[in-house]
Amino acid sequence: MKFDPQTSWLPLRDKAATTENQLHRTLLEQVANHMEAEINGRLEPLMATLTAHPKYHFWHVGPENMILDGYEAVSGFYQNMFANEGQNFHVICERIMVDDTGVVTEGQVRQQYKSDALLAMGVTTANGQKIASSPRWLSNTQLITVWPNAGDGKLIGEDIYFGEDPMTTLMPFTEDA
């Protein structure tokens, strides 16, 4: 599948268009709006999808779990992400579930990294290759995201479950990736 971040939220919009329950449709649109704003590096519209006190959980394989609690923590996380071009990813939604408590998306996330960014994170090799050998790298990992409903159609945040450490899946990026 071609790397195309701008298609990430389309399955959510498609599902919203065929969903009769107004709350479910609102939640699906909020997730789509959130994803679109995130990938396009737009902080204000992204934060507008969230409750006043958002909470994020990143559940990694291994001891790297992270919790962001509150508006400032979440906003700061995204500001840092955008400053480092970390929003260059493509979500491939293979399954979308929605009920009154929120939305669950399941599929893959493919993220593109510049070699300089990886080196700054301390990643010097990937699958036996030196990071400096390619200007851009691509990770691909299974991802489940739970988007809980705050009760008013806003999102509380995200509970993100990675199937594997994305750094273990790095390969040189090519245009047909």
* pLDDT tens-digit readout, 56-103: 999 976 667 899 999 999 999 999 999 988 899 999 999 999 999 999
pTM given for the model: 0.92
DSSP annotation string for 36-102:
HHHHTT-HHHHHHTEEEEEEEEEE-SSS--EEEESHHHHHHHHHHHHHTTTT-EEEEEEEEEEETTE
Strand 155-162 and strand 50-59: pairing? parallel
Distance of CA 169 to the CA centre of its chain: 16
pLDDT at 176: 66
Collect the ranges in the chain with pLDDT lower than 70.
Answer: 61-63, 176-177
Instruction: Tell how many helices (H) and how many strands (E) occur in the chain.
Output: 5, 9
Side-chain half-sphere exposure of 25, counting CA atoms within 13 A = 8
Asked if residue 81 lies in contact with residue 42, where contact means CB atoms within 8 angstroms, the answer is no
Return the CATH class of domain 5-172: alpha beta
**Domain spans of the chain?**
5-172
Contacts of 154 (CB under 8 A, 6+ apart): 30, 49, 50, 51
